[in-house]
Structure 1
Amino acid sequence: MIKIRKVWQLYILILLPVLYLITFKYVPMYGVQIAFKNFIATKGIWGSEWVGLSQFSRFYNSYDFWRIIRNTSILSGYTLIAGFPLPIVLALSLNNVSSKFFKKSVQMVTYAPHFISVVVMVGIIFQFTDPRTGIINHLIQFFGFEPINFMGNPSYFYSVFVWSGIWQNVGFSCIIYLAALSTIDPALHEAAVIDGANKLQRMWHVDIPGILPIAIILLIMNTGHILDVGFEKVLLMQNPLNNQTSEVIDTYVYKIGLASPAANYSYSSAIGLVKTVISLILLLTVNKIAQKTNQASLW
């Protein structure tokens, strides 16, 4: 208690984040049990009938199961594979630029889109990919090809979603790696220069090992959210033409649990719980692999 009294200001400072976690992360766990019940709002959670794993079995045997899992997995994997290394490449490139004006200009141009709201971003995507007036189709026609209806062709949805997200967030994610690069001891670069290493060799043998622990921590954290592919953006980009490839777990849960006239809270909760368990397993697996390879890990 004496130690706590000496630094009571720090405990006050951490009180709000702890209250937030308890209120919005731990207390809602009480309602997870409706995934195992046939929840009826008038009867309440305890009064509703216990049905065990029937909601999970219903989801597994549903017509939409494999389509939703496939779409979520492809979008998540595509986003991680394409989006994770690009901020590192951008940070390494900017770190080796000698012109401060050029470096700051590129930083501003690349991280500014991060502050665009999801609704505005989807509106920009629609304008750019419009088959008649979109700038992308004007360029395609300029080179003699037929215009493409990107938002009406299901096969283009994955790429439009992923690369627009990368364009929006790559600059902001790059800031973390630039901060990590700034902590690398300049003496290491000086020693490498004396040994005759060029810029690429210094990047490979000095810069990359220096930011590798941060990169692994971020990779582990991204893996934990791999199934959270961006509910708002996916929902806004959906239409009847691309629904075959755009329906993911989050949008399906929303439609079943809230948007449907016969809202099925138990069924949607069961689906959400399945996603959470899969994300937890992936997080633990990647963290364990990082530990086995003697790399940085969350714990």
Structure 2
Amino acid sequence: MPEGHTLHRLARIHRDRFVGAPVRVSSPQGRFTDGARLVDGRVLERSEAVGKHLLHYYDTDVIVHVHLGIYGTFTEQRVPMEPPRGQVRMRMTGDHVGTDLRGPTACEVVDESAVAALFARLGPDPLRADADPERAWTRISKSATPIGALLMDQKVLAGVGNVYRAEVLFRHGVHPLRPGRRLTQAEWDAMWVDLVELMTVGVSAGGIVVVRPEHDHGDPAYVEGKPRTYVYRRTGRACRVCGAAVAQSVLQGRNLFWCPGCQQD
């Protein structure tokens, strides 16, 4: 599933390419026909993200909410666009560029009250200027749940997925199974600052860059073309810092990666 930096990057791209002008919106697949009709030809006034959610605000007080889920993707092409291929849930076309949305978990028209409810149920987003990390700390500091699970709980912290979870815990030497209430506030504050910096880089780079320059060598990335990671999808390989074999287990249905040498409980 795309992590929060991907949605913020999309929000920025759509802001640059569509905001401030009328946008043609259709649903070639047919599953968003009624929603597309409400915004087709209207001016897109704002594009923003919160956590793993994308929001398009139109001049009629109508908001389109998109959650990509596991399979959702946006693909772009120049205008005039080719005929839609595959299951295109939503097609947006501007003066020069268009984009097709395929496979999202959600693509729906909502109102301000629904957006307010969305923000209320999400934890602070490290990529938003209005985020309050104390909200997350209040929950973490009282919880017996492992910090590795809390970081993935969107009600605690919005936008962090499995890669950022594994990597920020490694970077701060925190074992993923340590209960949240055993984390110190100094550790949390440092992790929050790091997440803000790392995810901001992710928005600009279009990828998750987490390995410090002095460690960016040795084994290649887990997928060709991606930046290296410290522990994510490196099970059994030597830690880039201490040489211990990277460990793996499952926590709440998601793969968990850590270094037994650098992240001792």
Q: Whose strand fraction is larger, Structure 1's or Structure 2's?
A: 2
Of Structure 1 and Structure 2, the greater helix share is in 1
Structure number with greater Rg is 1
Specify the TM-score bucket, using the shorter chain as the normaliser. Answer: under 0.3
Normalising by structure 1, report the TM-score.
0.21
| Structure with more contact order per residue of length (Cα contacts < 8 Å, sep ≥ 6) | 1
